[in-house]
Amino acid sequence: MHARRQLAALALLAGLVAVPALAATDTQAPTPTRAELLAKSTAAEWRTPDPHNLLVMQLPSGRVLIELASDFTPLHAANIRTLVREHYFDGLSINRVQDNFVTQWDDPESTRDHPDPAKLKSLGTAKKALPPEYTHAINGKLPWTPLSDGDVYAPQVGFVEGFPAARDPATGREWLTHCYGMVGVARDIAPDSGNGSSLYAVIGQSPRRLDRNLAIAGRVLVGMPLLSALPRGAGPMGFYDKPSQRTPIQSVRLASELPPAQRPAVQVLRTDSATFAALLDAQRHRRDAFYQVSSGKVGLCSVEVPVREMTPTD
C-alpha cells in the first residue's frame, strides 16, 4: 500500500486533508475538512473561557486544562475554586485509571479501605457536602444549540456554550452529558457527598447511564492524552494497587490567579456558530473519494468541540 495514498486515506478518515473527489462537480464538491472549516472561522466565532472557570492542572508529563461548567454546576465550581485557591490538589495524585471508563484523581488516602483520618488532607474552607447539581431547570437564559440527529438516552440533545447537554421537555430539566473528556464529581452513595475533591474524566465510550446521577464539573479542553494514555490500574475498578504507579499532581491553579505570562491562551469554538454547524454537517455528509457511504448522522458524543491554543505571536 503506497504510503502517500494510505496517509491521504487516513487523513480523510481523520478529516484533516482534502483530496479532490474523483468526479467533482459544483454540486458534488468534496466535503470541506475540519481544518478548512476552522481556517475560515471568524474571530467572533471563538469564545475565551472565563479565567475563573479555567483550571490548569500541572502533571510531570504536561498541562491539562479544564473548563468548569459554572452555568450548570455553580456550587461545585465555587467549591472547586476554593479547593484550588487553597492548593488542595497539590501533591495529590491520579489514583484510578479504568479502561474504557474513567481516569480519577483525588487524595490517595481517601481511596484506601480504611483511610487514616489523621492522614486525609484537610478540605480547608471548602464544603464537605454540596447539594446534588445533576440537572437544572431549563431557564431560557443559556444558549441552546439543538442537535437534530436524535439520541438513545435523552429526548433532546444539543450544546450549551461548548458543553454537550441533554433536555427533557416533559420535566423541563437540562443536564450535561458524560461524553469523552467530560469531568465529573465522584461521590459516595449519599447524593450530597460529592464536593469536587475527587474528580474523574471520561476516557472511553461515553457512559451515558451516569447522566443525571453525578454532577459534571466541566470538560477537558487540552491534555486528554495525559489522562487517557496512563497505565490502567490493576486493582478493583482500575485503582492502582502500587503507590508508585500514581501520577503525581504537581499543582492545580485557576487561570485567573496565574501571572499573565503563565496564563493559558485558549479558545473554544462557539457551539452556536455557523462554523460549528458546518462542522457537524461535514461529519454527517461526506463527499470525498474515501467514503463509500455517508452516515447522515452525528452522535452527541462523537462531536469534538474545537479548541485552539493561541501562541504568543497570535
CB of 114 to a second copy, least distance (A): 7
DSSP 189-227: SSTT---SSSEEEE-SS--GGGTTTS-EEEEEEE-HHHH
Residues shown for the chain: 314
Looking at beta carbons only, is 45 or 72 nearer to a second copy? 72
Looking at beta carbons only, is 74 or 225 nearer to a second copy? 225
Looking at beta carbons only, is 201 or 266 nearer to a second copy? 201
CB of 148 to a second copy, least distance (A): 11
60 and 250 Cβ atoms separated by less than 8 Å:
yes
Looking at beta carbons only, is 141 or 209 nearer to a second copy? 209
Looking at beta carbons only, is 74 or 231 nearer to a second copy? 231
CB of 291 to a second copy, least distance (A): 5
d(CA 239, CA 107): 12
Measuring CA to CA, how many Å separate 24 from each of 4, 5, 27, 38?
21, 19, 8, 22
CB of 52 to a second copy, least distance (A): 26
CB of 104 to a second copy, least distance (A): 8
d(CA 79, CA 195): 7
